[in-house]
Amino acid sequence: MPIAPSITATDQKTWTNRHETVHQVIDNLFDIANGETDDIVDDYNATALAIQGLIRKAIQQNKKIRTLGGGWSFSEVTATDGWLLNTKLMNMLIEIRNAASLSEMYVGNPSNVLFAQCGNSMQELNNYLRRTGRSLKTSGASNGQTIAGAFSTGTHGSAIDFGSTPDFVVGLHIIVSADEHIWLEKASYPVVSDSFIRRLQTKLIRDDDLFNAALVSFGSFGFIHGVMIETEPLYLLECYRQRYPLDDSLRHVMETLDFSNADFLPHGNERPFHFQVVVNQYDLNDGAYVTIMYKRAFTENYQPPVVDHDKAGPGDDVPAFLGKLTQLLPVVTPFIVNNLIKTSFVTFSNVWGTSGEIFTNMDTRGKLLSTAIGIPIRFVNQVNEMLIGINEAQGPFSGIFSYRYVKRSEATLAFTRYEHTCIVELDGVESATTRNFYKAVWKQLEERNIPHTFHWGKISELDAAKLEKMYQHNISKWIKARNTLMPVDALQIFNNQTLMDWGLDTTLLRPF
């Protein structure tokens, strides 16, 4: 018996994100589920039609729409006072086995290509890929995000010479209005064939500027229904977390990513896949924590890491273990954080696992705040000293300082926009002190003229003027792309307060 796709109004009237930093009154939350016939592509197409119907209804009833991923963003990018669309049940995965689905101009390896519906969680993807002997090229430190939610804010995991999650996306299927959905890919990197486009009953647009703009667009370019990603053969990560003095040798690596004289690291001058430095400002004498991972060919002959819920795993970032603490204790002081770091953020050597086994945490909850600031790597030591100084003068901040590194992304509004970006992460317990600490940091970055950007899914205080300074002409390129792809009525219902605060909701007069 064929089942039709469903869009179910839950009548939920409030929505809170994962870390309880956003509490939003909403008009409704809808659960979207695929139907089931004996043809997966027909089912996929039927869901697209149903979503178009919902967009039509929203326009008629003047309701705003936001598409929800995992709800893991700390910022209000995901919030709306209108209709929130739950996509977590939209988790089809379609292997592109038929070469006829790929363009003759596709220069990649066809076995790398996977088509994923938007609501697949990073964990679902990791599990599927593990079974098929393949791997994501990168992910965040944790894996509870959906694929569309992750790349829509530029989620990164510190793959220092690859980039972030948007960088493995090569095609986007977007429902841009009540009447139109499109397949968007780069003109410089064509992927799918005409028969694929016909099968999805969609319209092909090949354009680098439009594609790069839509990649990091935090729910504003319509409903991203499916994505084509490039994966790679399964690999292993050989992982270490050790403490090293914050001396000239480590500082040199931190501000250059030049490993040629890094004899102190586990594999000396070998360039790692992942590099992260965590500074506990309350325990500087014993050095910084350096997490370092080397990419290795896959073999079955390894012991995956044993999960210990009381300790930070090899790939865990700071929210993963700070969050647990906030659930157990009413007040978290710097003293408690310091002790927690000593007992939970343990050092280790020679731990092996696939990317999905290392970057694995997905049960994090708790009242946490996180701001993540992208800076060109040459400023990292200056910023670290600045943070220690601000903490002494205006702290104490109940959290620690973390530095991760990512290669530049081509997405128009990627916050990883410097040749190599260092992402300075300040994760702390939810409190007025933490928020004040953030404000002091942001102010000093301005005063010291240190170029910087902000993670779109984390806490910031952005406005149009600040964004213009950070992204210059990329702001107008992004706005123009949005106006090119979406008709005004659809564009307006996909606005939310955050987009307006950022000055990114502009409607342009056509034609351009």
Binding interface with ligand FAD (CB under 6 A): 18-19, 66-73, 77-78, 87, 118, 140-142, 145-146, 148-150, 152-153, 155-157, 218-219, 223-224, 317, 319-320, 364, 455, 457
Please tell me the distance from the alpha carbon of residue 125 to that of residue 94, in angstroms, as a whole number: 11
Give the nearest distance from C-beta 415 to ligand FAD in angstroms.
9
Q: Based on CB atoms, which residue is closest to ligand FAD, 87 or 193?
A: 87
Give the nearest distance from C-beta 218 to ligand FAD in angstroms.
4
Output DSSP code: residue 272. Answer: P
The answer to whether 23 and 52 have CB atoms below 8 angstroms apart is: no
Give the nearest distance from C-beta 224 to ligand FAD in angstroms.
3
Q: Based on CB atoms, which residue is closest to ligand FAD, 314 or 457?
A: 457
Give the nearest distance from C-beta 311 to ligand FAD in angstroms.
16
Q: Based on CB atoms, which residue is closest to ligand FAD, 373 or 390?
A: 373
Q: Based on CB atoms, which residue is closest to ligand FAD, 162 or 223?
A: 223
Q: In which order are the strands placed within the sheet that holds 28-33?
A: 6-9, 28-33, 83-86, 65-68
SS3 242: strand
Q: Based on CB atoms, which residue is closest to ligand FAD, 71 or 163?
A: 71
Tell me phi and psi for residue 126, to 5 degrees.
-60, -45
Residue 470 parent element (H or E): helix 464-471
Give the nearest distance from C-beta 121 to ligand FAD in angstroms.
8
Number of CB atoms found within 10 A of residue 462's CB: 18
Residues in the chain: 512
Give the nearest distance from C-beta 251 to ligand FAD in angstroms.
24
Q: Based on CB atoms, which residue is closest to ligand FAD, 249 or 344?
A: 344
Tell me phi and psi for residue 50, to 5 degrees.
-65, -40
Contacts of 387 (CB under 8 A, 6+ apart): 279, 281, 401, 424, 426, 441
Q: Based on CB atoms, which residue is closest to ligand FAD, 45 or 73?
A: 73
Largest Cα span, the chain: 69
**Residue whose C-alpha is closest to residue 482's, from 223, 220, 224:** 220
The answer to whether 250 and 277 have CB atoms below 8 angstroms apart is: yes
The answer to whether 32 and 6 have CB atoms below 8 angstroms apart is: yes
* Residue number with the smallest Cβ distance to ligand FAD: 149
Give the nearest distance from C-beta 447 to ligand FAD in angstroms.
26
